[in-house]
Structure 1
Amino acid sequence: MASSAPRGLRSDHVVTVGIALFSMLFGAGNLIIPPLLALQAGSATPVAMLGFLIAAIGLPVMGFIAVALAGTARELAGRVHPKFGEFFVAAVYLAIGPCLAIPRTSSTAFEMLVPLLPEGVSLGTARLAFAIGFFIIAFALTLCPGVITRVLGRITGPALIALIVLVVGAAVISPLGPAAAPQAPYDAGAAVQGFLTGYQTMDLLASLAFGIIIAETIHELGVTDDKRVAFEISRSGVIAGVLMAIIYCGLALAGMQLGTVMPDATNGAAILARSASMHFGLAGTVVVFAIFFLACMNVCIGLISCCARYFCETYVVEGGAEASEEAMRRPFAILAFVFAAFSCLLSNVGLDVILMFSVPMLNALYPVAIVLVLMGLVHGFCDAHPQVWVWVGGVVAVQSVITSVRDAFFAGAWLPFDVLPLADIGAAWAPVAVAAFVIGLLHSKFVAHSRS
């Protein structure tokens, strides 16, 4: 008798995991970019948003699928070389975790609280007290991954969506103004500029990082077959992507209506706050703070958890991912506490300094992540020509590091990459990747011919 098909998630579990994944991805940066894009794009917003969604949604969803097919982000990057995979994934977790994104969650949420504070309150003291409370809550919720998914998927995630729907719904029912004429750079090539703006969200790196906690959650829900886990991660990623797309469009609508009201706005948070206050008064300011607080808290919980789990499994606990939960519990809690405490410190002092180093790191990692994901989606072909992985991953990594260091510390210095197509939009890595792919393909064929 044929064996039964591997067990999958129930439909309600898929939705819960998808909302949890959305909650971990959708931070303050995701909130503030669409309103600003739409305000500047004006009547060209639909075209600009099309390009934005392709990059901001398409890349992360492809990242979820590529990691699911490979097993883990480290296994995906390890096809270049095991040491490369180890270094690259560790750098990704550090860059989007304690060195940048985790500290910024508290800082950003606090900035939205400032208008609600009484006059005369010391901002330094208030910021410290807020950060301590913020990270205590985040740390407490990271200690049980199953609880994370339930909290994010059933409580804070839906609450965040409901509050955003409230603000967007008010903009739909009672428009604040007509769309203005497109501003630069959206007045020419709105779709291309929208794509570049979506590219700059860098959510692809987060999609590589969050796979570890989503996979564990799916295991806890009773799915044990690796191929089925990969399939469920892909389904959850698509749900998260659809949710993000809908909310992005709603936020863009709210921003588009303020083009004639605040044409010189440069901050998406200010645009959202103005829209909410014009519709709801002081209550609107409270709603916007609640939106940012929930978005930042959700991302913070997810990042602390996945960073602690990755370093715990990779460097601390004997047996790695195969270790028992009992063996993992204490070292995981210690690492989660270290990341939370370190991030709390950085959110109050030294964040500008750490940004000076972490942003170039992000810029160096992102092109590598893109080419790894694209090759991961066609891994059958690339695995049949293994030198493709080595050439593309290695060459793009070198080019990205050199360019990022130049942009950060030697602005204006000339590099040979500057003459390549797409260099003017910061994508010189793309033709480099194509050339490396061709060389890797020829190298693989030469090696195969030599062995025959």
Structure 2
Amino acid sequence: MNKTKETFVFGFALFAGFFGAGNLILPPLLGFKAGGDWWLVTLGFIISATIIPLLAILAHARLQGTMLDFGKKVSPFFSLIFCLCMYAITIALPCPRTAAVAHEMAIASYFGTGALLTSVLYFALAFVFVMNRNKVLSILGKYLTPIIVLIVLAIIVVGVFSSEIQLSSSNLELPLISGLLEGYQTYDAMAGMIMGGIVLVSINNSKANMTFGEKKKMVAKSGFIAIIGLFVIYAGLIAVGAIYNTQFDVNISRTDLLSGLATKTLGSIGSAFLAVLVALSCFTTAVAIIVSVADFFKEYFKKSKMAYLITTIICCVVGVLVGQMNVKYIIDVAIPALMFIYPICIVLILLNVLPEKFASKLVFRAVVLITFVFSIPDFLGFIIPADYLENIKSVIPLASQNLGWILPALIAFILVNLFERFKS
């Protein structure tokens, strides 16, 4: 296989890794709310949902280790706690959300059964697949993603070119910030850190003998291919949501909007087909998440099969409990957790991409500490009444937009680097 063909293969694999069926429900509602400002929310969404995750892939290519290596310059203990937090959030939120999306898009509409029954059967089946590491899922995943992509592209093309464009005014005060924060809900930055080594391992396992520089170049080109694919899908769905924003109820849910757009563009058969495929794809995503988490703890406890079993059971039990909730509730509940973990994810990704001379151990420790401290008001703002934090947020730049950590982290980065230059 020549290098160009390999680059495209790895690029499509990377795209499939980030392209989660659950993420399809996020962009249309953004466009629906943004109206004429759809391009601004697209820009924000692309930054947090594709560019930052791809930087995580590049960081993995440079580190050539595990997720524990992202925080090792802060301290091994911090790195372990950070990884445990990442996996806890992954088990508690995006994994159960797949069941909720599958229920709302495919099960409730056609069978009318309760969410609890769907959640129980969903994760009972997931348990069986995880314990057997069945190859059926990898085969399904290989064919499901291209089919879903084709259907989504059909919705975008038909929606954009066959409908009269009537964009209403935006319902969002800060479209760019809204798009940026909504991109947190894709969990793609976390996914990039968790699974980022896969592409590099695939390159290492290929027959071609490549130098470090050649590998880095191939990862970069593969990432560029993946980001183009994600950009087209996300921007297209946001645009279609904006074009049709006068044709649905203002309070429509994310899943109902995606189904409604599929019906208006492809008809009822197209909508039903999309619902079934999304449900299947959600299931493969849930199994992949559980396997990756169970594998981590199996390796951590010296290849313990019992650790794998216990982790799988915990994941499935949590999945049943949270997966019976509706999608909107799971997304709303996730906001404080994402406001807590995402700033730390972002700075660790960026610091690991930077040259060594700008990212010493002291820089890592200072920037991560400052990021954590100044992100506290952001995630507490979704837990306690806003009045309690008004005085604090008023003195922190961008805190009212839930991005109060950005400037302090940047200042800490600059000051510590200047201190080290003068010290040397």
TM over 0.5: yes
Q: Does residue 337 in structure 1 map to residue 312 in structure 2?
A: yes
1:299/1:225 CA distance change after superposition, 3 Å: farther
Post-superposition offset of 1:416:
3.3
Superimposed CA distance per residue, residues 138-180 of structure 1 (whole angstroms, 9 cap, x where no aligned partner): x268567xx876653x3222122122123223324532x4232
How is 1:234-253 mapped onto 2 (pairs within 5 angstroms)? 234-253=220-239
**Equivalent of 2:349, from 356, 373, 378?**
373
Partner of 1:404: 379
Native 8 Å contact 2:297 2:308 kept in 1 = no
Partner of 2:121: 129
Native 8 Å contact 1:55 1:195 kept in 2 = yes
Q: Does residue 296 in structure 1 map to residue 266 in structure 2?
A: no
SS in 1 for 2:167: coil
Q: Which amino acid aligns with 1:389?
A: F
Q: Does residue 267 in structure 1 map to residue 272 in structure 2?
A: no
Partner of 1:428: 404
Partner of 2:170: 183
Post-superposition offset of 1:41:
2.2
Native 8 Å contact 2:126 2:316 kept in 1 = no
Partner of 2:147: 159
1:240/1:340 CA distance change after superposition, 3 Å: farther
Native 8 Å contact 1:68 1:234 kept in 2 = no
Native 8 Å contact 1:391 1:436 kept in 2 = yes
Q: Which amino acid aligns with 1:361?
A: A
Native 8 Å contact 2:57 2:192 kept in 1 = yes
Count of residues paired in the alignment: 420
Native 8 Å contact 1:60 1:204 kept in 2 = yes
**Equivalent of 2:193, from 189, 194, 208?**
208
Native 8 Å contact 1:23 1:299 kept in 2 = no
Q: Provide the identity percentage.
A: 24
The whole-number CA distance in structure 2 between the counterparts of 1:197 and 1:59 is 14
Post-superposition offset of 1:224:
8.1
Post-superposition offset of 1:443:
4.5
1:431/1:181 CA distance change after superposition, 3 Å: same
Post-superposition offset of 1:433:
0.5
The whole-number CA distance in structure 1 between the counterparts of 2:251 and 2:378 is 31
Superimposed CA distance per residue, residues 179-237 of structure 1 (whole angstroms, 9 cap, x where no aligned partner): 32222216xx5445434443554421221111244444444445787936555544443
Q: Structure 1: any 5+ residue segments left out of the alignment?
A: 1-7, 318-326
Q: Which amino acid aligns with 1:433?
A: A
Native 8 Å contact 1:305 1:336 kept in 2 = no
The whole-number CA distance in structure 2 between the counterparts of 1:40 and 1:168 is 17
The whole-number CA distance in structure 2 between the counterparts of 1:236 and 1:413 is 47
1:236/1:293 CA distance change after superposition, 3 Å: farther
SS in 2 for 1:407: coil
- What TM-score do you get using the length of structure 2 for normalisation? 0.84
**Equivalent of 1:92, from 86, 91, 95?**
86
The whole-number CA distance in structure 2 between the counterparts of 1:373 and 1:9 is 31
1:99/1:197 CA distance change after superposition, 3 Å: closer
The whole-number CA distance in structure 2 between the counterparts of 1:184 and 1:391 is 38
**Equivalent of 1:395, from 328, 352, 370?**
370
The whole-number CA distance in structure 2 between the counterparts of 1:195 and 1:309 is 31
Moved over 6 A (4+): 147-150, 223-226, 350-357
1:359/1:252 CA distance change after superposition, 3 Å: closer
Q: Which amino acid aligns with 1:282?
A: S
Q: Does residue 360 in structure 1 map to residue 336 in structure 2?
A: yes
Q: Structure 2: any 5+ residue segments left out of the alignment?
A: none
Native 8 Å contact 1:273 1:284 kept in 2 = no
Q: Does residue 25 in structure 1 map to residue 18 in structure 2?
A: yes
